[in-house]
Chain A
Amino acid sequence: MLKRLGCRSTQMDASQREQYQAAIHGDREAFEMIIRTHSRTLFAIAYGILQNREEAEDVVQDALVKAWKTRWRVRDPEKFPAWLATIARHRAHDLLRRRRTIPLPAETIQISETEAIDSPALDQQLHSALATLPELHRAALTLRYFEEMDYRTIENTLGLTNGALRGILGRALASMRKRLRLALTSTD
């Protein structure tokens, strides 16, 4: 069973690998294909860190541009997706750091306030609960709930060891559930 799986995965890898290799060597079409298949994953990661859609989208865009510029740095084509994810993570972090230091313009605050008023309390609570989670946990959650990825793919994307995701997602969910216990009971 395992062996068969392995076989299939290597076969899949072969074509994937070719695509990554072509992209590294400057094949635009291959890179655009990668944008199509991977940008949502990158978005999930960025969103996990920033919790802001616009910013996350900007980060993905930036990360893709940077990846195209510095594609020659990747030696092993198999590590291409993980490398993309790393770039997105770093960009998101940079942005987060800047957000902390530069005070938000008044407009933005206002908008967020109005949003907060309009949206139900549960939603706000959920967001704040999410904000308290470690970054890795958030990324795992977003990958799972945005893209409905299976555990193995998430582990690969985030560069985790096999089976580590169960613990992460378990703890994330438990933490969320404890924070939102009151709200949960009310909904039930």
Chain B
Amino acid sequence: MATIHNEIDNWLAANLHGDLSDAEQDALHAHLVECAGCRRAHQETKSMNKILEETLAQEKPDSAFEQRMLAGFRKRFPHRSGFIKLFVDVMRLHSAQITAVAAVLLGLVQLGRMITSEGVTPVPGRGEYTRAQFAEQRLQAAAPRPAQAGVLARSAEADAGRSQNLALPEPPPPALPAAEAKDKTESIAQAERTIVTGSDIPSAEEVAPKPAETPAPEVANRKLIRNATVELEIVSFDDAVQKITALANEERGYVATTESQKQANGKLRGQVIVKVLPENLDRFLQKIHGLGELKNRTLGTEDVTKAYFDTDARLKNAHVMEQRLIDMLKTKTGKVSDLLQVEKELGRVREEIEKMQGELKYWDSQVQFATVTISLAEKDMEEPAAFLLKERSQLALYAPDVEKIYGDIKALASEKVQITNAQLNRDYSGRISATMSMLIAPEESDSVVSRIKGFGRVENFQTQSERIAQGGTGMSENAKTKRDKVELNITISREEQEQAFQQTSLRIRTSSVDEKAKELGGVVEKQGGRVRNSTFNRDPDGREFANVSIRVPMKNYLALMQSLNALGKVENVSVQRQDRTGTQIDEANAPADVSIQIYSHGNIVSHDSGLLATLRRTLAQSAGAIMWSLRMIGVAIAFLAPWVIALIAIVWIAKRLIRARRKL
């Protein structure tokens, strides 16, 4: 009950306002019976409530309040007219809103296109547009022909009719009778042609072949020249010629010419021209095919009828002319100069007569006999006649003294050893190399090459030989082979430049580095190698390092490795070998590089380990981290600040505006 007493004000108010449940009411009543103070409060509250009800009832808005509010609202926002209301109602629909947005976007896109003057998308009426344009072009084409004014007028008319038709669908409407439609299209075609050609000349289609009208040629009187060419591959040229002659005789023909050439490889190639009677030509060709393999065949006929009879007619005229001139001379009247003129003319006419007679004779002979040109070639025409063996060698040498060897090789030059190119190079770091090329007579080549090989250490020797076919291609069993001069290219380099055949690296741990390094020098000397490079270091922790790189011939490599064991504990051995395929290497003398690190342990705790060093490093790293994060924060601020400032400014301005409006 303590709660009711403490919150008696709330309970009393709720009681008066009817907000208490039945149980709560009972509880309150029970408390009021017990507590006098609360009873008094209850009384006071009741009268307070009454006063409030009475007083505030007067202040309550009257019954017309809502109407006034509505009227005020309507006055401020008068009803829209029918159309606008309808529009607003429609726009309230979601679909309408989406459509409107889409339309606006589309409009914007079109506007953008118009502004950027991009090509307008094809419109549906385009077909008609182009057709109209076409009609216009034709009009223009017809225009610059004033000479054919009548035609032009007609074409213009037809064109007008045509362009009217163009508006209609292409095929004429089905309601029209078929015949009428055909007439119409024909007339249109006619009109069109008139326009295009500008005249009434019939088109090619109309003149097209009329085969029935052309008369069949009179074969009997015709002068036809027949000739054929045949290409044959045969085994033996002479045999073939004999057989052809026999065949020609059989067919009452003759061999006109025979011609043959001998190739470098001993094979024969030639041509036989045979004349046969035209009516036997086909049979003759059939027989010839049996002689060998047919490669090519052409058969041609030339009609010289017209030219022949023309010439014949002219010849007759010329004869008449000649006779007249002769008569003139016989009568011997007139001046001498005239007679000379006649004489000259007679000479010219006679010359012409002879020419024409010759022509006719030639044609007669041509017509009398058909010409068969037979090209003959023996088999394996392309077989090579001989082979040339070319040898090319490359030699790479390493020598301690390049210049000396260069001189020695030059001294070898003689008639049979020709030096074509010799070059001695010295680069900026003083390294010397030489390249030489020479041609050696085949019989000398082996001895010269072996002598040159003796001058230095051969790093690489390559020989390449090539058989070149002469007078043909492919293989031949009985062709001879000849050795050509040997071409030798030599490169000479200093030994130092040579790449090691094998590279080894290892570490040797020992207590006295300096001493062992010196000892190593002796060992290398004993194995025929040399020290190329050596360094000695001592680090702050007292560790000593000696790096020694040496080079020994491959044959002594194993012995060296064994003797290294005596120097100290050998560690981390790694061997690397480069396989140079395709080169001939003198493996025993090839250089092997060994790089050795001799080292000793220094102090147990180094300067950069231990507690202090770790602390120092940690401090340094954390300072670095702080600096880094500071930098990042700076970047972030620089990144965000302009936006934040802009935002604050906008908000501030907006607030100011709102406040200003409220004050109004």
Residues of chain A having any CB pair with chain B under 8 Å: 25-28, 31-32, 35-36, 39-40, 43, 47, 53, 57, 60-61, 64-65, 68, 94, 122-123, 126, 141-142, 144-146, 150-151, 166-167, 169-174, 176-177, 180-181, 184, 187-188
Contact = CB atoms under 8 A, between A and B. Distances in A.
Given A47-B59, A65-B73, A166-B14, A173 B49 contact: yes
A64 B69 contact: yes
Contacts of B13: 166, 169-170, 172-174
Interface stretch (B4-12, B269-277, B378-386, B421-429): B4-12
Interface residues of B, number: 40
Tell me the interface secondary structure of chain B in the complex: helix
Contact of A184 (B19, B51, B53): B51
Contacts of A65: 72-73, 76-77
B60 A122 contact: no
Contact of A35 (B10, B11, B69): B69
Tell me the interface secondary structure of chain A in the complex: helix
Nearest to A166: B10
A145 to B, nearest CB: 4
17 contacts: A43-B61, A47-B59, A64-B69, A64-B73, A65-B72, A68-B77, A122-B55, A141-B56, A142-B56, A144-B17, A146-B60, A151-B17, A166-B10, A170-B14, A172-B13, A180-B51, A188-B47
A66 to B, nearest CB: 10
A61 B71 CA distance: 10
Contacts of A167: 7, 10
A126 B55 contact: yes
Contacts of B204: none
Contacts of A180: 48, 51
A27 B65 CA distance: 22
B92 to A, nearest CB: 5
Contact of B92 (A26, A43, A150, A151): A26
Contacts of B76: 65
B88 interface: yes
A142 to B, nearest CB: 7
B70 interface: yes
B59 A53 contact: yes
Contacts of A47: 59
Contact of A141 (B52, B72, B92): B52
B53 to A, nearest CB: 6
Interface of B: 7, 9-14, 16-19, 41, 43-45, 47-49, 51-53, 55-57, 59-61, 65-66, 68-70, 72-73, 76-77, 79, 88, 92, 662
Contact of B61 (A57, A151, A181): A57
A40 B65 CA distance: 8
A145 B53 contact: yes
B70 A35 contact: yes
Contacts of B61: 40, 43, 53, 57, 146
A34 to B, nearest CB: 10
Contacts of B662: 94
Contacts of A151: 14, 17, 19
B8 to A, nearest CB: 8
Contact of B48 (A146, A166, A184): A184
A118 B53 CA distance: 20
Contacts of A176: 48, 52
Given A126-B51, A169-B17, A35 B9 contact: no
Given A64-B72, A177-B45, 12 more contacts: A28-B77, A35-B73, A53-B59, A61-B72, A126-B52, A145-B53, A145-B56, A145-B57, A169-B17, A171-B10, A184-B44, A184-B47
Given A68-B77, A145-B53, A176-B52, A170 B7 contact: yes
Contact of B55 (A60, A123, A169, A177): A123
B43 to A, nearest CB: 8
A60 B13 CA distance: 28
Contacts of B18: 150
B70 A187 contact: no
Ranked 4 nearest A-B pairs via Cβ? A170-B10, A174-B9, A170-B9, A145-B56
